């Protein structure tokens, strides 16, 4: 069973979750339902993924009490500015079949539009109304977070960013750590399988008798990150959850961090 990490608003979230991009409704329903049976208690979706209905059907099919499953969704650019985020969240809740989400994120800062501060103030009201238990952001840079703190006085509970040993984002992680923001890692296993075939990863995996994916997920956990790997395979779902019974040495953690290539999604150049 996943451990939990405390957020800056006093709530907590499981330290490992299930990512659902790019599943459609049918796949999300099947995979999330099985993941919950296997012990996952943290599911990540978004308006833009187009699979909230499928996630909602899986949640409804589960016999788990609502407060035992941590559900994250994100509103995108069409829901920035004014009170548009409220309409976006209410539509998400309808698709998910929920009365509230555990975590609501602004999917992108979209700094050219300059609406993320205004949108954040709406998020604060949605949290106060109980429609979102915790609020956070995704793909925000430290400069965006600094502006939120300066103009609203509230720090996001979470910043979800692309992060793995090839994209370590030390500047983001340091800022988050200094300001009590939990870092959630999307694409935590890299893309296309290249990271999991890297000799530096496979050597550590062989030393521990673990899969490369388990070793990389353990790297995230030991850095205090919350990875949300996506998988549709039951075997990999099981393996990805089984990362709490071993530990990497400090040197092994450093060897994986040294793989950093400095690349990744640039939130200033993405427009959705």
Instruction: Give the CATH number of the domain where residue 25 resides.
Output: 3.20.20.100
Domain assignment present for 40? yes
Q: Is residue 175 annotated as a catalytic residue, yes or no?
A: no
In the block, residue with structure tokens 């996630």: 55
Residue 272 predicted with pLDDT over 50: no
Q: Which two tokens stand for residue 156?
A: 């996001």
Give the pTM: 0.95
Domain assignment present for 246? no
Domain assignment present for 200? no
Which has more pLDDT, 269 or 155? 155
The per-residue pLDDT for 105 is: 98
Q: List, for residues 97-140, the tens digit of each pLDDT value.
A: 999 999 999 999 999 999 999 999 999 999 999 999 999 999 99
- Cα 58 from Cα 71, distance rounded (Å): 12
The per-residue pLDDT for 230 is: 97
User: pLDDT tier at 235 (50, 70, 90 boundaries)?
Assistant: very high
Domain that holds residue 50: 4-188
A 10 A CB-CB count for 25 gives 18
User: pLDDT tier at 262 (50, 70, 90 boundaries)?
Assistant: confident
The per-residue pLDDT for 266 is: 56
3-state secondary structure 62-97: CCCCHHHCEEEEEECHHHCCCCHHHHHHHHHHHHHC
The per-residue pLDDT for 124 is: 97
Do residues 53 and 23 lie in contact, with contact meaning Cβ atoms separated by under 8 Å? no
Domain assignment present for 59? yes
**Choosing from 40, 49, 116, 186, which is the catalytic residue?**
49
Structural domain count of the chain: 1
**H or E stretch at 175:** helix 170-178
Which has more pLDDT, 63 or 12? 12
The per-residue pLDDT for 153 is: 86
Residue 269 predicted with pLDDT over 80: no
- Cα 25 from Cα 31, distance rounded (Å): 10
Domain assignment present for 116? yes
What dihedral do alpha carbons 254, 259, 262, 264 form, nearest 10°?
-110
Domain assignment present for 145? yes
Give percent above pLDDT 70 in the chain: 96
The per-residue pLDDT for 263 is: 65
**H or E stretch at 105:** strand 101-106
The per-residue pLDDT for 41 is: 98
The per-residue pLDDT for 121 is: 97
User: pLDDT tier at 261 (50, 70, 90 boundaries)?
Assistant: very high
Residue 16 predicted with pLDDT over 90: yes
The per-residue pLDDT for 268 is: 46
| CB-neighbour burial class of residue 18 (10 A; exposed 0-12, middle 13-18, buried 19+) | buried
**40 prior amide bond cis, ω within 30:** no
Domain assignment present for 153? yes
Domain assignment present for 41? yes
- Cα 23 from Cα 21, distance rounded (Å): 5
């Amino acid at each position: 069973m996943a451990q939990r990490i405390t957020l800056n608003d006093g709530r907590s979230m499981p330290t490992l979750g299930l990512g659902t991009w790019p599943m459609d409704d049918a796949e999300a329903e099947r995979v999330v339902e099985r993941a919950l049976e296997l012990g996952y208690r943290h599911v990540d979706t978004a308006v833009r993924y187009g699979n909230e209905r499928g996630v909602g059907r899986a949640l409804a099919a589960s016999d788990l009490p609502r407060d035992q499953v941590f559900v994250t969704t994100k509103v995108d650019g069409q829901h920035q500015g004014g009170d548009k985020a409220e309409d976006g969240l209410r539509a998400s809740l309808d698709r998910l079949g929920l009365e509230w989400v555990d975590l609501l994120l602004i999917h992108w800062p979209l700094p050219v539009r300059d609406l993320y501060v205004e949108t954040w103030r709406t998020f604060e009201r949605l949290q106060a109304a109980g429609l979102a238990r915790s609020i956070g952001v995704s793909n925000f840079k430290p400069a965006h977070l600094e502006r939120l703190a300066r103009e609203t006085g509230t720090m996001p509970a979470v910043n979800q960013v692309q992060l793995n040993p090839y994209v370590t984002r030390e500047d983001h992680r340091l800022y988050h750590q200094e300001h009590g923001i939990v870092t959630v890692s999307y694409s935590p296993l890299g893309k296309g399988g290249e990271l999991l075939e890297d000799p530096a990863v496979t050597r550590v995996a062989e030393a521990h008798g673990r899969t490369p994916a388990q070793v990389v997920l353990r790297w995230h956990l030991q850095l205090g990150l919350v990875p949300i790997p996506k998988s549709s395979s039951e075997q990999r779902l099981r393996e990805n959850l089984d990362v709490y019974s071993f530990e990497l040495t400090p040197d092994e953690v450093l060897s994986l961090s040294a793989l950093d290539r400095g690349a990744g999604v640039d939130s200033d150049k993405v427009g959705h």
